[in-house]
Each structure stands twice: as C-alpha cells, then as structure tokens.
Structure 1
Amino acid sequence: MAGIWFDEMEVGQVIQHPIRRTVTETDNVMFTCMTHNPAQLHLDEEYMKGTDYGTRIVNSCFTLTLMVGISVNDTTLGTAVANLGWDEVRFPAPVFHGDTLRIETEIVGLRESKSRPNAGIVTFEHRAYNQKDEVVATCKRSGLQLKRPVEG
C-alpha cells in the first residue's frame, strides 16, 4: 500500500511526485486513435505547420490522465474507495512531443464522509509542469479515501 490514509492528510500538504514522464509521439497518436478523436491538431503534422503551434500538440485528455495517473502511487494507491469527480480542468499551455512532465499534488479540501465512518472525502489539486517549469495542466479531483484501519 503506497497511498496515504485520509486521517494522515492535511490541507495545504504538497506532494512532489518522483515519477517524471517524457511524452512521445506514440503516446499522443495511440491515445488519440484509441479514443476515436479525429482532431487534426493531434494527428495531422502538415495541417499543423500552418497554425500558431507549427506542429502537432498532445491530446489534452492524455495530459489529464497522465497527470492524475502519476499522482496515484503517492496519494490513493490502496487507500481509495472511489474517484468522485474532476473539476476545474485547465490546460494553460500546450504539451508537445518530447516534453517531460513533472506533477505535484496539493490537498485542498478534507471532510468526513456522512455515509461511511471509515472514509472521508479529499479534494486534490494536481498540477503538471513541463521541462521549462511552465504549468501545462491543472485539475481538482475529489475522491473517497479510506481512514487508517483501527487495529484490534
């Protein structure tokens, strides 16, 4: 169990996730095709040469799921009951093939569960940064998180 228990979390706690990930062309094309997204900005290099970006940009849904996925080991692995939702998803800068992303998570909300005495609801704010330290993605994620089991 690598995640943290609800009762071990504090609002304002920031977790710097040790895993970093360089995003590849394969990541982008496979994810985009697997999700049936025909957007030219992810798949058509010639089209993108004539845009402000000049090259394909990475599918933002891939960026979102990578950001959250990297956070799981240090936050919810083995301690989560359920993911309850994502809010305020933003992509302030594009991700390109070859960008290396690092992720940090801040605990921004905690409350006891009204229906489950062994769990609480946590709100995480995830932030993804590229190798230039530019914020490329943010989101808030709410989850139902287990409390440390009572021994006895």
Structure 2
Amino acid sequence: MPGLYLEEFIVGQVIKHPLRKTVTESDNMLFSVMTLNTQPLHIDFEAAAQSEWGKPLVNSLFTLGLMIGISVNDTTVGTIVANLGMTETVFPHPVFHGDTISVETEIKSVRESKSKDDRGIVEMEHRAFNQNGVLVARCLRQTMVKKKGA
C-alpha cells in the first residue's frame, strides 16, 4: 500500500490505522537490551514488582516507535523524504506486556517546501491507545514528503 503524496494529505483528516499490535514481554526486553536501556522498571521483574505499577513497564521509546511504525503504511510508505522531527511527545499512561496498541493519526498542517518544489512538509499528530481506549502516547511528527509526479 503506497503512502500519501503531499497533495493527498488534508488538514483535519483523521486516519484510523487498521494494524494493531499486542506488545509482548519479548518485545520490551529485546528493545531495552538492544538500546542498552538498563532501567530496572523495564527489565527487572523483581524491581518492577516493588514499583507503584507492580510489574514491568514497556519502554516508552518502543511505544513511540510502534506508534509511528503502525502509521506508516497509511501515510508515508514510499513517499517520505525524511522525518524532520517529533515534538510534544507524551506518554500519559504506561504500556504493559499484553496491551494491544491501536493508533490514529490526525493531519495538523500541510505546506509546500520553500526551497524545493518537488516536496512539502506535513505535520501529523499520532495517538496510540491501549485495548481499553486509554491514550498511552501522543506526538506531533513533522515529515517531508514527495509531491505527485516528483
């Protein structure tokens, strides 16, 4: 499924992504170890059991990556030039092993590039929810995408 070109993004459009993922213990452990994040809340079940949560938390950077990853098939596959930034990233509720994450994306702004006529900049707000509809992550993402025919 191809991504959208600049002209196909509509400000205010909300895309409810059909892909979902249930986060596993293996996802969390592998990501934390691969990124050398030794935070006991992610990788030490005994330490996490003593926390206010009583169990391990999923690494928030995994959650961010998953949220954006779920969105790409419907937004930027094959049309992105580059990610320009991610701002206002928040994690209002933790993700735990076994949570199923779904994502929606709202198009916040669209503009042509000021320096290159074959592309433009799209700002999207990604929102991730657990299986109970609780918001677990949100961020504004600025992307450079191709125009049609570029």
| Pairwise same-fold verdict (TM > 0.5) | yes
Aligned to 2:115: 115
Aligned to 2:76: 76
Moved over 3 A (4+): none
For structure 2, the residue ranges without an aligned partner over 5 or more in a row are none
1:33-48 equivalent positions in 2, closer than 5 A = 33-48=33-48
In the TM superposition, residue 28 of structure 1 has moved relative to its aligned partner by 0.1
Aligned to 1:90: 90
SS at match of 1:61: helix
Distance 1:29 1:48 in 2: 13
Between stretches 44-53 and 135-144, larger displacement belongs to 44-53
Aligned to 2:139: 139
- The residue type equivalent to 1:125 in the other structure is E
SS at match of 1:38: coil
Aligned to 2:3: 3
TM-score (normalizing by structure 1)? 0.96
Aligned to 1:23: 23
Identity of aligned residues (%): 55
In the TM superposition, residue 146 of structure 1 has moved relative to its aligned partner by 0.7
SS at match of 1:89: strand
In the TM superposition, residue 2 of structure 1 has moved relative to its aligned partner by 1.3
Between stretches 33-42 and 47-56, larger displacement belongs to 47-56
* Number of aligned positions between the proteins: 150
Aligned CA RMSD, in angstroms, stands at: 0.9
Distance 2:24 2:48 in 1: 17
For structure 1, the residue ranges without an aligned partner over 5 or more in a row are none
SS at match of 1:111: strand
SS at match of 1:73: helix
- The residue type equivalent to 1:15 in the other structure is I
- The residue type equivalent to 2:6 in the other structure is F
